[in-house]
Structure 1
Amino acid sequence: MLFNSFALLGLLGAIARAETEGVSDVNSFVLSNNGGCKCGPSDRCWPAPLIWNVFNLTLGGKLIADTPPAISCYDGPQKDLAKCASLQADLKNSTYIGNSPVAPGFPVNDQCPPVNFAAGEVAGTCTMGGLPRYTVDATNPLQVSAAVVFAHLSNIRLVIRNTGHDILGRSIGDGSLAVWIHNLRQGITFQKTYTASDKCSKSGWKGSAIKIGGGYVWGEVYAIAEANNVIVVGGGDPSVGCIGGYAQGGGHSPANHNYGLAADQILEAQVVLASGLIVTANACQNTDLFTAIRGGGGGTYGIVVSTIVKAHPTTRVSAQVFSMAPLTDANIPDFMDALAIMYSAYPDLADAGLNGYGSWAANSYAPVIPNLPYTTGYSHALAIMGKSITDAKNAFASTAAKLSVYNGTSLFLYSDYYTFPTYAQYYRTLSGGLGPVGSEAALGSRLLDRKALTNTTGLKNMLNTVAGNPGQFLQNNFCLVSGGQVFKDRAEPFSGVNPGWRTSYVHNIVAGGWFPGADAATKAAVHKDITEVKVGSMRAIAPDTGCYMNEADRLDPDYLVNFYGGALPKLQAAKRKYDPTGLFYCPTCVGSDAWKEDSQGRICKAN
């Protein structure tokens, strides 16, 4: 281990000397002599096997030669029908995906899909497709630095992966080198009173904090928080990574309303820059980088290897569980009217302190409310923190009165209330759970402000559009997670989030799917419908808000406006400063418009 550490330091030192002596144009030279493209596996400039072997030695054996997750289903030396059979469940398990260097949480153009032989499927072809060719299984920040330097010198595409919860296809890349930080685990530390590593006091935070030293998931951090009677703002899915794209992209949570977005919780971060150097970003140093990683998107300014986040005193939580559904298909119009009543109530419900999550669908192919047979229906779980069940009932009373006219005549309505002594108990019971992974889908979203939600005619038109037609396999999810502290944090000087969050109450998601085995034309048609029609209807009533980038349309042609909004200029400035050569490329990230993908899957300079 001592040799490996010195080898890494030697590599970094060599790069530092090269830059000092004016030999930093190796990357530019290779780029210009490869048609302006990053080197791919079929290019002469791709590192030779000996170079990869030496690099692996430098890393202490932490370089993985990647293979497709489903290679066991195909003819060849790695064929294993038992492993292949288990993949039907494994690739839909977020824990399995998080523990894999390449398994996609949300497949994008999978060129080696699992084969269900038991269902009569026949194996086709298996290629790497858009997967990385090699992965650095980093267990310390120096290995991350070494990967960054190697990718820069070799002019190869670099991608960053933690747990694979990636809807946008940012953590994969054809012919790339991946940095996998899931096994970089240097401890989770509770601080009774926050102390910055450099004694910086400009954050103004006087409360507790938790240092997350690597690629941990929220479930692990929640356990530390509960043991110390505090709340951290993290993902609704406990298998989501803490320091990667979730928080850096904004981060919605059951606790947002009371404490702000996950990005707003970051007090300090350790970041590996494109130069390979490791720096601290906080309110005192590298403040523009600090701003960029607090909501400006992950994977594009540097690689975050640790963060310190705010921790808040725990409190009791009261919650409401509510469902509604049409008694017959003939009552679906009444259901849609009741749905409009619910959506229009969201701003007032949020202002009263209620927040949480829900979903709905019309004419679904399967029941949409747990344990009930309805294929058209709506359900939510909303919570109010630090208050009683009576407070929760009072907050919902006006909405309940408006909906009561449908109860038993055209709609089934159900409501119940619960109270929990701590946030952790509420989270485990009603909010936290492993989300669905492993399936292809087309998805889009929009942030909806009060103006959009109270525009009666426009709202009804939008809801009827995103409901879709029978057979479209559409699902809508809403996140009533804003207002409150999220709005107050609009004055936060180091925020990189889309400003639309500061005025919008709801993050609304519409997703469409297709039958297994659907051809490319069918999938393209669904994507087109989501992008142009479904999201278009939301944009019509909320033209200026944009969307939450982590759960957005990866094919959005206006992603720079919709993902980043008014924060874009300062994010672009940070990108130019900290990554001037564009080493950290990812689709729809800030700076990605400087590149394009060619017919071989390589990324090349756009101009």
Structure 2
Amino acid sequence: MGWGGVYHCGPARPPPFPSPSLSLPTMRSLTLSLSFLALLGPAAAAANCKAIPSDPSFPAADVWKAALPNAKARGPQTIPTRPDYRLEAASVVDVKAAVDFARKHNVRLSLITSGHDGLARNDAPSGLLVGLEKLTGVRIETTFTPSPKGAAPISKPAPMPKLRKRATPQAVTFGAGMTTQAINDLIAKEGIYTNGAEHGEVSVAGGWAQCGGHGPLTPYVGLGVDDALEFQVVTADGQLRIANAVSEPDLFWALRGGCGSTFGVVVQATVRAHPSPKMAVTRFTLNATNPAGVAKATAVLHAAFPDLVKAGVGGYYNLFPGQLTGIFHTVGEQGTSAYSQKIWAPILAKLGGVDTVVKSTATATYAEFPSYKAYYDKTWGAADAHMKARRGLSKPDVYNWWSTPEPEAIPALARRHGPGEAAMLPVSGGRSDGASRLLDAAAVTDPRNADLIRKSMPGKGMLRGALLGGPGLHKPGPADTAVHPSWRSTIATLWVPGDGAGLAELAPKMGSYVNEGAWNASNWQDVFWGANYGRLEKVKEKVDPGFVFYVTPGVGADAWAGNGKGALCKAEGGQGRSGVVKGGFPPVGDNLNLKKGSKG
């Protein structure tokens, strides 16, 4: 699988994602020493590893029951693959009890909210899994001023005040279990919306916002981290801390880009609310007779991106072996069909002239919507109707939102976590193969686009892209939040199956969006966080020196590694701290669960 610290669990995996600072990763030949844990014997090894059920120190069933009476036991596992206990936290008290238990008994602690994580950081083969889906409630804040006291705790059901028009921005406070669609459905009647994912069932306060968080309106309002005003977080010492601009500012900075399950458990968040704009949508489905035609058409589309950003366009596009689909939008005064047609007519004409593209398909449809909710419900599906539409399975390999009237589900997307499916607990899907790259203006206009995209295209399946550039994304400074600094010059992001080497060649100085990145990315600290990684590591050392929270790839992950027997153990010095393999692969960790179809 690869190396982490002093452990070597198999042959070194090839570098799937070159560093922004390297055109091709340098492969180092390392002679790995025997683990010092093995040399010192089982007792010393146990003291330096998280406890697993086969260890004498692992808490007995009655200890679990006494401390966490609502935790459910999984039962004995012949081969450790999932946490031994699961607790659905219904309150901050539950979360604090879980953190205290994991720290006291030295067991693995993993967190899950809505379950959308291709890196499987929400999973572990032992210990305790804490579900945050029950931490719900939404409250509109007529004003918000950060303070050490923090926003009042959410009550369920939280009061929804009648608002008057005002010049000052409004904010929304919500529990960590709330999804973007659930929040916006509740507040839409007040003419406002909050930043969230394109996929409505993704929770806002979890990994989406803490890793950056892009969505449909990122070009206009920025990333999720840019809208975060406060996080209330239970840290490794079991304390509830208020993290905002005036209270725990370093922790607040780290939570805005350093990613979830790393610095603590976010239980409540407050974010900016924005006036709901009118919107216009442009859709097209371009057919080509071969993958090369799709790649060439995408190069033409990419070349138009800088001008589209200046014109106020954002949106999404998918590449299939014989098809390029797009769904783009404009907002506010530019949110009209007439404006969209004026912009897209010459681009579609160029797309229709690409070799092997079926010219008759180079057309678009246009639609206008009076509000963000109207746009979202029609474009991505209203919550209840959309859930029902996605229950059936008919095409297991492709999930094409753009060209089918009723979306068709694949197994990994068949479950939604919203109204009507409260009994369905989210589960980790395992690690997925794939990589993303942030693309700047130089990358999208590079003449090598067609060739490198063609090399990245699979025999079946798709590439997923998003046009995200705009004043909202580009205005914040590179160190204002903890996300990779190259976000602030990003025009688009593109996810590809496989190792992403072609994209890295296209954009060598850009990073990768962690939530869509490669779980085995080479030079991962630089690829995911760039110059911000050093400061993030210092915050990690301050708030969680004992690694109650561990994910890989994640800040400080090089201090621990899987021992190949289901346990997570301290690495000798750690990759980052020793400097021996700084810039190498992320530690394998103890979680080896793969998404079905992934190669590992």
Note whether the superposition's TM-score is higher than 0.5: yes
Structure 1 position 467 matched with structure 2 position 432: no
Match of residue 380, structure 1, among 326, 329, 342 = 326
> Structure 2 vs 1, CA of residues 453 and 67 (structure 1 numbering), >3 Å: closer, same or farther?
farther
Q: Which residue of 2 aligns with 1:413?
A: 362
Question: Is the contact made by 2:150 and 2:242 (CA closer than 8 Å) also made in structure 1?
Answer: no
Letter in 2 for 1:467: M
SS in 2 for 1:442: coil
> Structure 2 vs 1, CA of residues 406 and 465 (structure 1 numbering), >3 Å: closer, same or farther?
closer
Q: Deviations over 1:422-463 (max 9, x none)?
A: 11111111145678552774211111111111111x212211
Question: Is the contact made by 1:269 and 1:304 (CA closer than 8 Å) also made in structure 2?
Answer: yes
**Partner Cα separation in structure 2 for residue 346 and residue 564 of structure 1:** 25
Q: Which residue of 1 aligns with 2:590?
A: none
**Partner Cα separation in structure 1 for residue 266 and residue 462 of structure 2:** 33
Letter in 2 for 1:191: E
Following superposition of structure 1 onto structure 2, how do residues 249-264 of structure 1 map, counting pairs within 5 Å? 249-264=211-226
SS in 1 for 2:364: strand
Match of residue 429, structure 1, among 370, 373, 378 = 378
**Partner Cα separation in structure 2 for residue 455 and residue 407 of structure 1:** 19
**Deviation of 1:225 (Å):** 2.3
Q: Deviations over 1:251-307 (max 9, x none)?
A: 110011111101111101101010001010000010010011111111101110000
Match of residue 358, structure 1, among 317, 328, 332 = 317
Q: Which residue of 1 aligns with 2:177?
A: 215
Structure 1 position 487 matched with structure 2 position 436: no
Following superposition of structure 1 onto structure 2, how do residues 182-193 of structure 1 map, counting pairs within 5 Å? 182-185=133-136, 187-193=137-143
Match of residue 394, structure 1, among 342, 357, 361 = 342
Taking structure 1 as the reference length, the TM-score comes to 0.74
**Deviation of 1:403 (Å):** 2.4
Structure 1 position 134 matched with structure 2 position 134: no
> Structure 2 vs 1, CA of residues 592 and 409 (structure 1 numbering), >3 Å: closer, same or farther?
closer
* Superposed CA RMSD: 2.4
Q: Which residue of 2 aligns with 1:181?
A: 132
> Structure 2 vs 1, CA of residues 174 and 396 (structure 1 numbering), >3 Å: closer, same or farther?
same
**226-235 vs 435-444, which deviates more?**
435-444
Structure 1 position 64 matched with structure 2 position 72: yes
**Deviation of 1:127 (Å):** 5.1
**Partner Cα separation in structure 1 for residue 357 and residue 478 of structure 2:** 48
Letter in 1 for 2:70: K
Match of residue 49, structure 1, among 48, 61, 72 = 61
Question: Is the contact made by 2:485 and 2:532 (CA closer than 8 Å) also made in structure 1?
Answer: yes
**Partner Cα separation in structure 1 for residue 295 and residue 104 of structure 2:** 58
**Deviation of 1:405 (Å):** 2.9
**Partner Cα separation in structure 2 for residue 408 and residue 599 of structure 1:** 50
Letter in 1 for 2:301: M
**Deviation of 1:31 (Å):** 9.0
**Partner Cα separation in structure 1 for residue 517 and residue 502 of structure 2:** 15
Question: Is the contact made by 1:483 and 1:503 (CA closer than 8 Å) also made in structure 2?
Answer: no
Letter in 2 for 1:392: S
Structure 1 position 241 matched with structure 2 position 203: yes
> Structure 2 vs 1, CA of residues 35 and 461 (structure 1 numbering), >3 Å: closer, same or farther?
farther
Question: Is the contact made by 2:438 and 2:490 (CA closer than 8 Å) also made in structure 1?
Answer: yes
Letter in 2 for 1:499: P
Letter in 1 for 2:131: W
Question: Is the contact made by 1:354 and 1:395 (CA closer than 8 Å) also made in structure 2?
Answer: no
Q: Which residue of 2 aligns with 1:444?
A: 435
Letter in 1 for 2:363: Y
Taking structure 2 as the reference length, the TM-score comes to 0.74
Structure 1 position 296 matched with structure 2 position 296: no
**Partner Cα separation in structure 2 for residue 380 and residue 307 of structure 1:** 33
**Partner Cα separation in structure 2 for residue 436 and residue 287 of structure 1:** 42
Letter in 2 for 1:450: A
> Structure 2 vs 1, CA of residues 67 and 460 (structure 1 numbering), >3 Å: closer, same or farther?
farther
Question: Is the contact made by 2:73 and 2:86 (CA closer than 8 Å) also made in structure 1?
Answer: yes
> Structure 2 vs 1, CA of residues 407 and 334 (structure 1 numbering), >3 Å: closer, same or farther?
closer
Question: Is the contact made by 2:465 and 2:492 (CA closer than 8 Å) also made in structure 1?
Answer: yes
Q: Deviations over 1:209-230 (max 9, x none)?
A: 1101231122210112212110
Question: Is the contact made by 1:158 and 1:584 (CA closer than 8 Å) also made in structure 2?
Answer: yes
Question: Is the contact made by 2:73 and 2:84 (CA closer than 8 Å) also made in structure 1?
Answer: yes
Following superposition of structure 1 onto structure 2, how do residues 329-348 of structure 1 map, counting pairs within 5 Å? 329=290, 333-348=292-307
**Partner Cα separation in structure 1 for residue 294 and residue 51 of structure 2:** 55
Question: Is the contact made by 1:318 and 1:392 (CA closer than 8 Å) also made in structure 2?
Answer: yes
SS in 2 for 1:490: coil
**Partner Cα separation in structure 1 for residue 82 and residue 546 of structure 2:** 23
Q: Deviations over 1:64-85 (max 9, x none)?
A: 11269xxxxxxxxxxxxxxxxx
**Deviation of 1:491 (Å):** 6.1
Tell me how many residue pairs correspond in the alignment.
Answer: 471
Q: Which residue of 2 aligns with 1:505?
A: 491
**Partner Cα separation in structure 2 for residue 581 and residue 32 of structure 1:** 17
Following superposition of structure 1 onto structure 2, how do residues 271-282 of structure 1 map, counting pairs within 5 Å? 271-282=233-244
Structure 1 position 157 matched with structure 2 position 108: yes
Q: Which residue of 1 aligns with 2:121?
A: 170
**Deviation of 1:336 (Å):** 3.1
Question: Is the contact made by 2:473 and 2:488 (CA closer than 8 Å) also made in structure 1?
Answer: yes
Q: Which residue of 2 aligns with 1:230?
A: 192
SS in 2 for 1:378: strand
**Deviation of 1:536 (Å):** 0.7
**Partner Cα separation in structure 2 for residue 286 and residue 298 of structure 1:** 17
Structure 1 position 268 matched with structure 2 position 254: no
> Structure 2 vs 1, CA of residues 453 and 385 (structure 1 numbering), >3 Å: closer, same or farther?
same
> Structure 2 vs 1, CA of residues 239 and 585 (structure 1 numbering), >3 Å: closer, same or farther?
same
SS in 2 for 1:396: helix
**Structure 1 gap ranges (5+):** 1-29, 69-125, 363-375, 512-529
Question: Is the contact made by 1:200 and 1:283 (CA closer than 8 Å) also made in structure 2?
Answer: no
Question: Is the contact made by 1:407 and 1:413 (CA closer than 8 Å) also made in structure 2?
Answer: no
Question: Is the contact made by 2:434 and 2:496 (CA closer than 8 Å) also made in structure 1?
Answer: yes
Query: Larger helix proportion, structure 1 or 2?
Result: 1
Q: Which residue of 2 aligns with 1:554?
A: 519
SS in 1 for 2:271: strand
Q: Deviations over 1:151-175 (max 9, x none)?
A: 1111111111112111111111111
Q: Comparing both chains, which one has the higher relative contact order based on Cα–Cα distances under 8 Å and sequence gaps of 6 or more?
A: 2
Match of residue 589, structure 1, among 554, 570, 578 = 554
Following superposition of structure 1 onto structure 2, how do residues 281-320 of structure 1 map, counting pairs within 5 Å? 281-320=243-282
Question: Is the contact made by 1:200 and 1:284 (CA closer than 8 Å) also made in structure 2?
Answer: no
Question: Is the contact made by 2:286 and 2:357 (CA closer than 8 Å) also made in structure 1?
Answer: no
**Partner Cα separation in structure 1 for residue 434 and residue 127 of structure 2:** 26
Question: Is the contact made by 2:292 and 2:454 (CA closer than 8 Å) also made in structure 1?
Answer: no
SS in 1 for 2:342: helix
